[in-house]
Structure 1
């Protein structure tokens, strides 16, 4: 679990800690697409309306993968935490999306 290894926050500080060194930007990304069968099921759900579980699952897994990659890169830099973490999503093609996680790797006091 990420929380056991690295402090990851979306604020520019860690409560009770002081940033002693900024190591730099870290990021992780992934591009994912569902298979044709799941795309067809999602298209039918889109027509009927409601939650499209196939894409919720895909994006959730993608965010986790991008976050894990970002944390691995921060660990390689010797960071204690990643602050100011953000996510960005963009459509690469019809049914493929890129998820980018990025933040600032820091050493704490």
Structure 2
């Protein structure tokens, strides 16, 4: 499955647009991670616990996006984007979304 942030995929042409597709993940950091992150925020610098949480959550959202696109019969997703937000003080939501398409090599 090709996933691109661009409208066109180099060396391919879009033969069919299937529709919007997304992958949603909501994760919570455990108590230990929140305590470590809170202590790090006092001294400043990167909060690695949250960086890892966001990276893992984005990867998982892309995996779900790809699975949903495949279920729709697509072989590519174009214009892929992320959106994220917080739910409460301990949860992070990430959505990967784009347009499911069928492409073929030129």
Give 4+ residue runs of structure 1 displaced > 2 Å after superposition: none
Q: Which residue of 2 is the match for residue 3 of structure 1?
A: none
TM-superposed deviation, 1:21: 0.5
Q: Which residue of 2 is the match for residue 13 of structure 1?
A: 8
Among 58, 82, 87, which residue is 1:87 paired with? 82
- Determine whether 1:47 maps to 2:47: no
Q: Which residue of 1 is the match for residue 70 of structure 2?
A: 75
Query: CA–CA distance in 1 between the matches of 2:25 and 2:69?
Result: 17
Q: TM-score, normalised by structure 1?
A: 0.93
Query: CA–CA distance in 2 between the matches of 1:46 and 1:29?
Result: 28
How far does the alpha carbon of each residue in 1:80-108 deviate from its partner, in whole angstroms, 9 at most, with x for none?
A: 10000000011111021100000000011
Q: TM-score, normalised by structure 2?
A: 0.95
TM-superposed deviation, 1:11: 0.3
Query: CA–CA distance in 2 between the matches of 1:31 and 1:8?
Result: 21
Number of residue pairs matched? 104
| Structure 1: runs of 5+ lacking an equivalent | 1-5
Query: CA–CA distance in 2 between the matches of 1:108 and 1:65?
Result: 24
Q: Which residue of 2 is the match for residue 104 of structure 1?
A: 99
| Structure 2: runs of 5+ lacking an equivalent | none
